[in-house]
Amino acid sequence: MTATQPMPRAGADTGQAWWRGATIYQIYPRSFADSNGDGIGDLPGITAHLDHVARLGVDAIWISPFFTSPMVDYGYDVADYRDVDPTFGTLADFDALIARAHELGLKVTIDLVFAHTSDRHAWFVDSRSAKHSAHADWYVWADANPDGTPPNNWQSVFGGPAWTWDARRQQYYYHQFLKEQPQLNAHLPAVQAALLDVTRFWLERGVDGFRFDALNHSMFDPSLTDNPPATGDHPRTRPYDFQVKTFSQNHPDVVGFVERIRAVCDDYGAVFTVAEVGGDGAMPLMKAYTAGEHRLSSAYGFDFLYAPELSADLVAKVMRDWPDAPCADGLSEGWPSWAFENHDAPRCLSRWADEASRGPFARLALALLTAMRGNVFLYQGQELGLLQDDIPFHLLKDPEAIANWPLTLSRDGVRTPMPWNAQAPHGGFTRGEPWLPLSAGNIARAVSAQEGDPDALLTHTRAMIALRRAHPALRLGAIEALRAHGDVLTFTRRLDDEMIHCAFNIGKTAHVHHSPPGEVILTLNGADTRHLPAWGVVFVKATA
């Protein structure tokens, strides 16, 4: 099937919404493909390489922020929600990207950052100008304590107090991240209305879905109550880690805003909406934001993104959290989404596998991800087995890593450019000097080096996505008979009369395993229906 002939996508033969059970490919635009030689990826670069994404067999792409921004946090500090930053191109370039993606059968989802803006956004410029300006209360302002200190003890994710003094208003403003990212007052109906208009703007341009960044950060306790101190033994590398974020985020009123977002999206058809919900106690929020038919489609799980190792027990615990059963309040349970790595989290092979095991482990990890109940998110380069790059301090761009050096692992190491051609300078990413360096090891894993190789991870990735697409039980089925015993993980995916038994040995020691009778549809790393060697995998389509 050629790249211009769209492959069948999730939901096409089941009557389900296109996004349920979908495989979604994340693109970090600065690092995907540079079309103009300035060393930074851009929208035309994405468009030119969409054939590669379509050949993977995925259903959709998710593009990280490309909006107008001073790039203090590389696009997550938005100065204009309705335009493209010149670094990445123009609105016409985005329209061309949408058209090409749809031609290839790919849906397009984008990030919307509704917790904060850039301090250069026109709303904030007006808000800080006077206490009675048109946007005066669109952000979170508070007077100083009598001794001049900030109004409470809330801490920033990036280090230090979450409050910065502004001489123009003679008040502090709140920022959960960088001081250049002032917090929107999403409790205010006018702010919600403006953000919903932003949503409509992109829907009108043909966007098929949204990931809502840091959604649980979008509201706070209006009384500005101090957070309590954290207890227990856990890593504390930043002041932020010393508190339980009881009052600075996770406000219950977010659910009402979620329902307003869903209502707007419903006006445009089967739009996919996924919430990013991180931090302690995320699971109840993920459930709340996705329960029933009037909230978001899915929630993006963090369970694997920072896990130091992959284990059968971890996978079983995570899957039990989403049992495909009604919620306690009687609403239907939401639909989970899973990723093993992304633009913020280290490459999974660098975290989970030693050098000797990386080949077979990578195959196991992709088989596991595509067999889990929920949506699959792949991060660019994951299909190539890219590793975390080591970026020296003098080349760091990540403000969090610079502020917390050396205790915070740099996000730059997972954001290094995508290698397209192993024989070209900079892996074919750019004709200029790349904004972050590519390692020789990752250049050797370029698309060109793997294309056409039946043993390459790229070939395996395509095969696993095709297998999931070919079996509705893997895309949409319930989880049954879930067991973790030592390194061995087993479960059955069932939809109607189709049952697929999946067994994984997430370890280096061989185990005996007895699969049920049926058609063997996958074996990896020397496994069969009776034996699971190190990193062995077997899928059996069981007979009724």
Instruction: Assess whether pLDDT exceeds 80 at residue 327.
Output: no
The strand ranges marked E within 114-204 are 141-142, 163-166, 171-174
Number of H helices, E strands in the chain: 15, 20
177 domain residue, yes or no: no
For residues 134 and 16, which has the higher predicted lDDT (pLDDT)? Answer: 134
Whether 81 is in a domain gets the answer: yes
Asked if 434 and 488 sit in the same domain, the reply is no
Q: Are residues 392 and 532 in the same domain?
A: no
Structure tokens at 505: 């040995």
**Residue of 337, 326, 370, 372 lying closest to 482 (CA atoms):** 372
- Is pLDDT above 60 for 534? yes
> Would you state the pLDDT for residue 51?
98
Is 312 found in the same domain as 426? yes
Residue 54 lies in a domain: yes
37: in domain: yes
Sign of the CA dihedral with 338 first, then 452, 528, and 494 last = positive
Range of the domain at 41: 23-116+189-468
> CA 270, CA 261: separation in Å to the nearest integer?
13
pLDDT score recorded for residue 5: 36
Of the residues 468, 502, 529, which one is the last residue of a structural domain?
468
- Say if 516 falls within a structural domain: yes
Mean pLDDT in the chain?
A: 93
Segment 249-257 mean pLDDT = 95
Assess whether 252 and 281 both reside in one domain.
Answer: yes
Chain segment 478-514, per-residue pLDDT in tens = 999 999 999 999 999 999 999 999 999 999 999 999 9
231 in any annotated domain = yes
Instruction: Tell whether the model's pLDDT for residue 10 goes beyond 60.
Output: no
Name which of 384, 402, 399, 320 is nearest 348 in CA terms. Answer: 384
Kindly tell me if the per-residue pLDDT of 330 is higher than 70: no
The pLDDT of 284-292, averaged and rounded, is 91
Residue 325: pLDDT over 70: no
Whether 278 contacts 452, CB under 8 Å? no
400 with 528, same domain?
no
Whether residue 323 is predicted with pLDDT greater than 90 in this model: the reply is no
Kindly tell me the burial class for residue 340, based on how many C-beta atoms sit within 10 Å of its own C-beta (0-12, 13-18, 19 or more): buried
> For residue 52, what are its two tokens?
């590669």
DSSP single-letter state for residue 219: -
* Residue 85 belongs to a domain: yes
CB atoms within 10 A of CB 228: 12
Helix axes 254-266, 189-204, angle to 10 degrees: 30
Whether 461 has a pLDDT exceeding 60, the answer reads yes
Q: Whose CA is closest to 26, among 415, 450, 372? A: 415
Question: What per-residue confidence (pLDDT) applies to 20?
Answer: 93
Task: Residue 441: give its domain's CATH number.
Answer: 3.20.20.80
Q: Is the pLDDT of residue 188 over 60?
A: yes
**Do 224 and 329 belong together in one domain?**
yes
**Do 425 and 345 belong together in one domain?**
yes
Separation CA 479–CA 316 (nearest Å): 10
Residues 498 and 461 both lie in one domain:
no
Query: What pLDDT does 535 receive?
Result: 98
Considering the domain architecture, whether residues 266 and 401 belong to the same structural domain is answered as: yes
436 vs 86: CA distance, rounded Å: 19
Domain ends where: 448, 468, 488?
Answer: 468
Model confidence, pTM: 0.94
CA distance 303 to 307: 7
Which stretches does DSSP call E strand in 72-129?
Answer: 80-84, 107-113
Q: Is residue 414's pLDDT more than 60?
A: yes
What is the average per-residue pLDDT within 92-116? 98
Same domain for 487 and 357: no
If asked whether residues 304 and 347 sit together in one domain, one would say: yes
pLDDT at residue 99 greater than cutoff 80? yes
Residue 2 reports pLDDT greater than 50: no
Q: Indicate if the pLDDT at residue 433 is higher than 70.
A: yes
Q: pLDDT band for position 1 (50/70/90)?
A: very low
Check whether 13 has a pLDDT greater than 70.
no
Q: Which are the catalytic amino acids?
A: 213, 276
Contact yes or no for 425/437 (Cβ under 8 A): no
The answer to whether 518 touches 543, Cβ cutoff 8 Å, is yes
Count of C-beta atoms within a 10 Å radius of residue 323: 12
Number of domains in the chain: 2
What CATH number has the domain bearing residue 529? Answer: 2.60.40.1180
Q: Please compute the mean of the pLDDT values over residues 425-449 and round it to a whole number.
A: 97
Give the separation between CA 335 and CA 314, rounded to whole angstroms: 19
Could you tell me the two tokens for 478? 């319930």
User: φ, ψ for residue 196 (rounded to 5)?
Assistant: -65, -35
Contact (CB, 8 A) for 31 and 438: no
Q: CB count, 10 Å around CB of 188? A: 15
* pLDDT recorded at residue 234: 76
Question: Is residue 105 included in any domain, yes or no?
Answer: yes
Please check whether residue 315 is in contact with residue 284, taking contact to mean a CB–CB distance below 8 angstroms: no
| 440 and 489 assigned to the same domain | no
Q: Where does the pLDDT of residue 7 fall: very low under 50, low under 70, confident under 90, or very high at 90 and above?
A: very low
H-run or E-run covering 542? strand 537-542
Out of 402, 433, 468, pick the residue that ends a domain: 468
Average pLDDT value for residue range 145-152: 97
Write down the pLDDT at residue 544: 62
Q: Given pLDDT bands bounded at 50, 70 and 90, which one contains residue 74?
A: very high
**Longest distance between any two alpha carbons in the chain, whole Å:** 75
Looking at the predicted structure, is the pLDDT value of residue 183 above 90? yes
Q: How far apart are CA 75 and CA 61, in angstroms?
A: 18
pLDDT of residue 329: 55
How many CB atoms within 10 Å of residue 197?
A: 12
